[in-house]
Amino acid sequence: MKRVIRVFPRRTKATPDDDGARIGVGPGLFDEADEVHLSVAFTWDLPLAEKLAAEWKFVAPVQMGGPALMTKGEDFTPGRFVRKGYTITSRGCPNKCWFCSVWKREGGTVRELPIQDGYDILDDNLLACSEAHVRAVFAMLARQPERPKFTGGLEAKILKAWHCEELRKLKPQRLYFAYDTPDDLEPLREAGKMLREAGFTTASHVLSAYVLCGWPKDTMEGAEKRMRETLDAGFTPMAMLYRDRNGQREPSWMRWARQWARPAIVHSKSNAEAHGRAVARTVQPLVGSLDGDA
Ligand code: SF4
């Protein structure tokens, strides 16, 4: 059996932390391997990845891959390039969003993979898979010791009533949708209605939506409006700041996003505003009647 060391330029929540993984470092004194696999998720880590490859080549031949290099994904092995608990049951997406590299990398179609156990689904677009595949994934999730999360995201436009019913039975920790472009709003509102009909509540904070913000011509007023529309549709909005190829984000946008960073803050803000509106509604007729008396 080949001895493989897996190297990652940066640690994220999903980075494996087993004995065969190295994060952001060159080889140690006792590192020996037949192959070194260097996995690069983000384009802005490519310079560091090149440096790591130059150091690790003295241990064993280095194979570099991952989304940043536009390497088409293979069948998924739990724990290899993402920590155990995460799983990928399909790759690719039939959509062509301007800011996304999935369709360029994976070829614009969805490939269903053998289903491996996990409770956090990272598929690019699970709901674009066949009904048989989605049902099999839900059945796998129902057997897991942890309540599922759908971190990869669910597409509101293709959400169906049966998805909502089955999702409700799974008692998920979190469902993530997206509001990236204006045409996402109506489907998001519709998805909110369907999910509430199936028994999800806004108060539970299970329903979330990533809201793309801060691209070159975006404005903070526009982004603020989209965040509020997301809340009104029944989802906790999570600002997803646009990054350029170098991973840069505008500092002013980062400051803006901080106020929307935690669900508790977002909801307390929204409750305070709702309370403010209710008070305004109560006070207004009184002011009107006083004016009339004058
Ligand atoms: S729907 Fe999601 S995965 Fe598909 S192209 Fe758009 S952003 Fe990418």
Which residue's alpha carbon is nearest to atom 6 within ligand 1? 97
Of 88, 93, 181, the residue with max ligand 1 atoms within 8 A of its CB, to mutate for a pocket test, comes to 93
Contact 128, 110 (CB under 8 A): yes
Cα distance between residue 167 and residue 174, in whole Å: 10
Gap between the terminal Cα atoms of the chain: 92
Query: CA nearest 107: which of 131, 91, 125?
Result: 91
Cα distance between residue 27 and residue 257, in whole Å: 38
Contact 212, 176 (CB under 8 A): no
Per-residue model confidence as pLDDT tens for the chain (294 residues)? 899 999 999 999 999 999 999 999 999 999 999 999 999 999 999 999 999 999 999 999 999 999 999 999 889 999 999 999 999 999 999 999 999 999 999 988 999 999 999 999 999 999 999 999 999 999 999 999 999 999 999 999 999 999 999 999 999 999 999 999 999 999 999 999 999 999 999 888 899 999 999 999 999 999 999 999 999 999 999 999 998 878 888 889 999 998 887 766 677 666 666 555 554 444 443 333 333 332
Taking residue 81's Cβ as centre, other Cβ atoms within 10 Å add up to 22
Record the tokens describing residue 37, joined without a space. Answer: 């696999």
Query: CA nearest 232: which of 272, 185, 279, 175?
Result: 185
* Ligand 1 shell residues, CB under 6 Å: 93, 95-97, 100, 102-103, 124-125, 155
State the helix-helix crossing angle for 131-142 and 161-170, rounded to 10 degrees: 10
Of 150, 155, 177, the residue with max ligand 1 atoms within 8 A of its CB, to mutate for a pocket test, comes to 155
Contacts of 288 (CB under 8 A, 6+ apart): none
Record the tokens describing residue 228, joined without a space. Answer: 């509020």
Contact 52, 80 (CB under 8 A): no
Which residue's alpha carbon is nearest to atom 8 within ligand 1? 100
Nearest atom in ligand 1 to 153's CA = 2
Of 91, 103, 111, the residue with max ligand 1 atoms within 8 A of its CB, to mutate for a pocket test, comes to 103
